[in-house]
A and B are shown apart, each in its own frame.
Chain A
Amino acid sequence: MATCISPLSLINGMSQFKNILSLSFRDYSHEWRMSGCFVLALASVLAPMMILFGLKFGIVSSMVNDLVENPDNREIKAIGSGSYTEAWLDELSARKDVAFIIPKTRALAATIQLKSKTAGRIYSTELLATAAGDPLLREVSQTPRGFNSVILSEEIATKLNVTKGDIIDGSLARQFRGKRERVHIDLKVLDIAPGHVVSRKVAFVSLDLLLASESFKDGRAVPKLGWNGDSEPLSKRKYPSFRLYAQSIYEVEQLVDDLNQQGVEVKANLAQIKTVQSIDQNLTIIFWIIACVGAVGFSFSLGASLWANVDRKHKELSILRLVGFQGGKIILFPVLQSMYTGILGWLLAVLIYLMAEQSINQILAPNLQIERVICYLLPEHFFWALGLTISVAAGAAILGGVRASRIEPSDGLRDI
């Protein structure tokens, strides 16, 4: 049978709720010193937790991520010279655990001679094909396309004394029909790859340019660049090697196993990966332990102070019961006051955290000589903190409030 709530009882209920809301706030603001102490107590536990998580989310996570995402750790190198078709490379590229793959035209390094107007000599430089998403160029915003653009590693850019936007001369030499030939090509420096990512002399070019250079060296003509040579068509191209990166260090081992099973001999930095994985896991465990201990401590601290508040309010709650407030509504009195404490304490903690975040980022960043943010929280982290605070506050207050609502109205009356 459905239970009907009469409009009159609903209005009365709303009216009692309004009364309790108003009374609890009046009491809370009347005892502003005590309320302030509760708010301070809450903020003094919550703010350091937020700062700790700010550091965890900021510098620690980003340093661990650097290790986890470091291309050196994610790279899987082919051993020796193979014969890989484009179809095979495409198939590998389609795997979810593969972040990037691009063919190499030589098992060892392909080279190009680079010269600039401001450098005294010509430098033989490793020539690597690149494309969008290359982990080695993740800090570089542009990708070389066509035949006239290049991204230089910091080392070769320094030697050539060039910067972004400069035009340099690239040249390739070959022995063709008994004669030594050399071709030149103007290359625009699109960007410089930082030294901490690529620490050798490398020129990143489009796959088209790499293939053109190989064609030239093999004695074939490259009409698009006006380079002469044999014009016999190239049968299906096969590559002797490739540059392959897994999505993360966690996928490297599986990829290595799969490739080995296919008969492709590869190697990866597995020992280093194990160390990094262990650092990542241990740091995560340590932070979860700190987080759990912090959250439990915070819950007990907040719960205890709010529970004590319900006890302190006992006699006034008795008066409210005596004048006719129902037990269920009485529970709301300490619950609402706990909400006020929770929200104000959270606001104060956020304020303290934001000031600490600013100070930490401004003071420590220059000392650590890093550009990344040291202490940082996302907006949702603040709301998680609010959710935790409100849940604990409500839980503690409901427990106390239920106890208060069960006490007979006569209890505590003689004390007021």
Chain B
Amino acid sequence: MSVIYSLKNVVKSRLVGEAGFRLNVPSIEIHEQENIALVGHSGCGKSTLLDILALALHPDSQDEFLLTPKKQDTIDAGFLWKKKKQNRLSKIRKQHIGYVLQQGGLLPYLTVRENIELPRKLMNLPQDDSTRCMARVMGIERQLDKLPGLLSAGERQRVAFTRALSHRPSILLADEPTASLDPITARKIMAVVMELVKGLKITMITASHDWAHIYKMDLRVLKQEAEVLDNGNLYQSTFTD
């Protein structure tokens, strides 16, 4: 399988209170249709790395940050960030990336159906039966005309996954998607998602602090190491293949 993400020496620093935090990615290659897990304790930079991969957060520096969506030319995301090509980055996010947030990230003023159809609308894709089909698979068909505020946490996450997959992206990113759910619901949802991801030949990268769950799902885990530098003033988290 071809490489979909190639990152070399990607660095992102942040100030967390008094101390500094640095995300360091010396080298990562993610292949098409791979299922990747970013595992680590809270605050180790999983979400930051996911945001960078989602082209939602610009790295401070990089030697290489390439993205090659399915059947597309390679995109130099590092260059686009450097040149502040925000519209181009928006377009790539719109076409190739689906992102599931920890709390769902649904728009409260749209119904479930409208939330799901939003990415398709943005891409001017036809409003066919795919929303209903996918909602049936995800077990939320009966909730389609409700507002997100009326749904349970589990239902909201199912909607978030359905929205992220509705426009058939090349990449699905999920940031602790089941963190707020009970273990049984979490497993049920992830099982369905894994099946869909396989069927749709999508590359999935998920962040989680639940080691046991991740190993059961048979995901490739990126190594994460943490070290404290600069007399305890800088916390550095490194992710590698």
Contact = CB atoms under 8 A, between A and B. Distances in A.
Interface of A: 11-12, 15-16, 19, 23, 26-27, 29-31, 316, 319-328, 408-410, 413-414, 416
Given A408-B56, A409-B56, A409-B93, A322 B105 contact: yes
Interface of B: 47, 51, 54, 56-58, 86-87, 90-91, 93-95, 99, 101-110, 114, 118-119, 121-124, 147
A29 B110 CA distance: 11
Given A409-B57, A410-B51, A416-B104, 13 more contacts: A11-B124, A12-B124, A23-B107, A26-B114, A29-B109, A322-B54, A324-B95, A326-B86, A327-B87, A409-B56, A416-B101, A416-B103, A416-B106
Contacts of A326: 86-87, 90-91
B56 A323 contact: no
A319 B90 contact: no
5 residue pairs, one from A and one from B, having the closest CB atoms:
A324-B94, A30-B109, A410-B57, A410-B51, A410-B56
A323 B94 CA distance: 5
7 contacts: A12-B124, A15-B124, A16-B122, A316-B107, A322-B54, A324-B94, A416-B105
B105 A413 contact: yes
Nearest to B110: A26
Given A12-B124, A326-B90, A409-B93, A319 B105 contact: yes
B119 A327 contact: no
Given A319-B105, A410-B57, A324 B91 contact: yes
Given A15-B124, A325-B122, A408-B57, A413 B90 contact: no
Contacts of A26: 109-110, 114
Nearest to B103: A416
A327 B85 CA distance: 11
A31 B109 CA distance: 8
A19 B121 contact: yes
Contact of A413 (B56, B107, B110, B122): B56
A410 B90 CA distance: 12
A414 B102 contact: yes
Nearest to A327: B86
Given A19-B121, A327-B87, A414 B47 contact: yes
A316 B114 CA distance: 15
Contacts of B121: 15, 19
